[in-house]
Chain A
Amino acid sequence: METQVNTLKVDRNHEGYLTDFSQWNKEVGEQIANEEKVEMTPRHWEVINWIQEQVKADKALSIRGIKKSGVLDIKEFYALFPGGPLKISTKIAGVPKPKSCI
């Protein structure tokens, strides 16, 4: 599926996740955050960058991993991305939706 994120053309799957990370840039992230009603702050971007690094390093993302990350704790994660933080943050980061049940 090709969706127009405002003026930006990117390929996304049926759940709205980017299918090609090379199409991601901060503007795309900003637009997706807008759809998710997340107002991005520098702290949000720090977390997004960390998520992208994890995925690049082929590390699986999980809520337990957030707890161990040393970057942020679970409470802050839920406060930054309310309504399903792992789901929403990965979508903004342009990486695949995590498959873990935990």
Chain B
Amino acid sequence: MTESEVAQQSAEQPTPGIVPAANRTVSSGRRAILSVTDLKKYFPVKSSGLIRRTVGYVQAVDGVSFEVAEGSALGLVGESGCGKSTTGRLITRLYDPTSGSMMFEGKDLAKLSAKAMTPMRKEIQMIFQDPYSSLNPRHTVGTIVGTPLRVHKVVPEKQVLTRVRELLEVVGLNPEHYNRYPNEFSGGQRQRIGIARALALQPKLLVADEPVSALDVSIQAQVVNLLRDVQNEFNIAFLFIAHDLAVVRHFCPEIAVMYLGKIVEIGERESVYNHAHHPYTQALLSASPDVKQAAIGGRRERIRLEGDVPSPINPPSGCRFRTRCWLAQDICAKQEPPLLQIGKTHKVACHFAAELGNHPAKPITAPLLGTDDQGNHAPGSSPVEFSTNPGYDETWFDLKTKTFGNR
């Protein structure tokens, strides 16, 4: 389905809350460049032996929806194994998605063949986590940065070297070092080479898969600032995958928190960091060190999560976080919490969504799901239609008044 078709379809059915895709805006008021809807990736688990039957699926990414605005940055955070890297690799089509759609410039990346994907590769590039394995050790820097230029024939062969030197200068490296091999550079410099390579095609979207996790803290800041500079200079949208909350806060105006293949909370930086409504986000935030508190010597109240992340092969029923959540009640096992928009630019998937310490005793989602407080189907009530919009709607569910509105 193309973008215009989507727009047409929504125009025909004027459901409140669903705005035609073309007019849809993200928090910053900019146009959405990438809009991912209900993206899923299941990896088959094969039995051993001669006849390899599929005995199950690793539900690495299970129904993720989000939007990235043009020239903006969406931070994807979560602990290891929660599917954030898989999401990044799905968008660059290193993996083929199981289902869902990824609309980019009117094309659904999820349905393009490998051949049809080739011209799109110019628009979407990736920065990798490990600068020591993301550069071919047998190629010179000039070859590494020049490869995308040659493959897509962006510039004539004669000008490749000139362009490579320009790119090296952009990322703050000596342009005369194009003849050197990656092992002659430090980790931070290698990551800069990786960034230069990603910039070579002048992409509109950059998937940065933990771009600074492998670097020293002092170098991290330099690289993050470099990313910010190139973002401003070339108006590149970022999908910034990281587990470091401080780095994400510094870089991304929008944050999505993932847990076990699902987005549990997504929203604008300030609302997620200062008014986190999901217990998992609250636990994550409480675990990250706070300079101010350290300075005054106060003890932080930390939320200790017990146990391990459940296996994505056989995730818990209902809410996936319930096995480690201190708020969990019966409804959490029976009903999966919908990703409910609770503010202008804030969505959360929890039956007891509220700021830390104010969690309600009764599930706020029960009336919406048409159930009683234990999650059993309540006679006489029917569930509300939830918006499937990957962006934000004009109206949202107000937690105080328990009604939809747009105050």
Are both chains from one complex?
Answer: no
Which A residues lie at the B interface, using CB under 8 A?
none
Which B residues lie at the A interface, using CB under 8 A?
none
